[in-house]
Chains A and B, each alone.
Chain A
Amino acid sequence: GQSLEQPSEVTAVEGAIVQINCTYQTSGFYGLSWYQQHDGGAPTFLSYNGLDGLEETGRFSSFLSRSDSYGYLLLQELQMKDSASYFCAVGDSNYQLIWGAGTKLIIKP
């Protein structure tokens, strides 16, 4: 079957750095994406990795290792507004996005 594993919850302090890991097992692979979702809101695209390595977009970075079927999202200089759920998602052989269960990020002042 197809599965993505990510921690259910992560807690961090405002201003700190946090890493959310994602491991995947899917039929085919067309990239790893990260989405942010605030409570009651729509998923918002954050980052995409099609090839191995690090992608940086402002305070957010995402990493992919296809040989390890592993990626992570790194959030720096955490702000209270970053409190949200973060989903990793993989494009499978049918170009469908397969989603992880999401990681709830709790930020404390």
Chain B
Amino acid sequence: EPEVTQTPSHQVTQMGQEVILRCVPISNHLYFYWYRQILGQKVEFLVSFYNNEISEKSEIFDDQFSVERPDGSNFTLKIRSTKLEDSAMYFCASSPRGGAGANVLTFGAGSRLTVL
């Protein structure tokens, strides 16, 4: 069964450092997303990406964050100058359709980011 792959599974970084989280969405999906989940809390939308550009972003997704699709398979989330409160599980997701199709997502296993 097709799956969304994320690396690394866990990253520990010092406050102020930059991190890049990587994702390989399902190959025939066109819409890509990043969500985050602080431990024990709800899942929060960060950004959606379609046709090589951001389609929507939340208030959380400020100038500290950026996304990129550097090639035909990878989808990355970059966090510049990490802060303690960025510690969370970051999930990549993809869907074959947009609009209401964004309700039906396939998630990766997540990348746990710990900022010290």
Give the size category of B's interface with A. 20 to 34
Give the distance to chain B from A62, nearest Cβ to Cβ, in Å: 12
Pair B109/A89 contact, Cβ less than 8 Å = no
B101 and chain A: residue at smallest CB distance: A95
Q: Which A residues are in CB contact (< 8 Å) with B42?
A: 87, 99-102
Pair B105/A97 contact, Cβ less than 8 Å = yes
Among A10-18, A19-27, A42-50, A69-77, the one that faces the other chain is A42-50
Q: Given that A87-B42, A99-B43, A99-B44 are contacting pairs, would A43 and B91 also be in contact in the complex, using a CB cutoff of 8 Å?
A: yes
A18 CA / B99 CA spacing, docked (Å): 31
A100 and chain B: residue at smallest CB distance: B42
For chain B, what secondary structure do more than half of its interface residues adopt (helix, strand, loop), or is it mixed?
A: mixed
Give the size category of A's interface with B. 20 to 34
With an 8 A cutoff between CB atoms, is B106 at the interface?
yes
Pair A30/B100 contact, Cβ less than 8 Å = yes
Q: Residues on A close to B: CB < 8 A?
A: 30-33, 35, 41-45, 48, 50, 87, 89, 91, 94-102
What would be 13 A-B contacts, judged by CB atoms less than 8 Å apart?
Answer: A31-B100, A43-B43, A95-B55, A95-B98, A96-B48, A97-B43, A97-B45, A97-B102, A97-B105, A98-B45, A99-B42, A99-B45, A100-B42
